[in-house]
Amino acid sequence: MVNRFLDHLEEWLITFLIGAATVIIFFAVVHRYATGFASGGLQDALLKLDFSWAQELCIFMFVWMAKFGAAYGVRTGIHVGVDVMINALSDRKRGWFVIFGLLAGALFTGIIGTFGAHFVWELMHTDQVSADLELPKWLVYACIPLGSYLMCYRFLQVAWNFHKTGHLPHADHGHVEGLDKEAEVEWATMPSDLHPQDVKPGSQP
């Protein structure tokens, strides 16, 4: 149950955030233009609605999306990497380089998460709030440790799976959701050279 939840955590968060941000922006834009065309009692009623907080909230939501989207990118292999030299190595040497890169990513994001957690902890002991929503600043910046630690976990998860199977997550950049395989153009199914190649079982570290 926990694994199933973690396997789709980023998708659920990103879907909710981008959906909510789209709805908020839509109503804020409609409200802005409607107040200029309406008249009489309708205009007075619209002017009483305050959407000044919409822009700030959407900015915060997109920042959260970016942090959790980075973790999603690690899990699905959509981050771009130039690995021509690594792919030219033997399976065993390539495996060591891949493991080193993944562990380095885990170390870096773990450090960022720890510094972020310390920063958020310090903010929790202040009265700083955002300009429009007056949200506590620590709540806004909580995406730094949460997103970074999740990204660290994804790096470790990918490294462990690579150690056990020799396979890395690969994103099919040419695939379009909802498009039949028969309808996809030939170049879209060509293998990508932007990620380290898989290694044969037993050749990885």
- Tell whether 202 is covered by a domain: no
Count of domains in the chain? 1
96 vs 8, higher pLDDT: 96
- Tell whether 77 is covered by a domain: yes
Domain ranges, residue 60: 2-189
- Tell whether 133 is covered by a domain: yes
Q: Is the pTM of this model over 0.85?
A: no
- What are the counts of helices (DSSP H) followed by strands (DSSP E) for the chain? 8, 0
pLDDT single digits (tens) 99-111: 999 999 999 999 9
- Tell whether 158 is covered by a domain: yes
- Tell whether 198 is covered by a domain: no
- Tell whether 127 is covered by a domain: yes
- Tell whether 31 is covered by a domain: yes
On the question of pLDDT at 193 being above 60, the answer is no
- Tell whether 203 is covered by a domain: no
pLDDT single digits (tens) 124-178: 999 999 999 999 999 999 999 999 999 999 999 999 999 999 999 876 656 555 5
Cα–Cα distance, 19 to 1 (Å, whole number): 25
Q: Which one, of 36, 1, 5, 34, lies nearest residue 153 by Cα?
A: 5
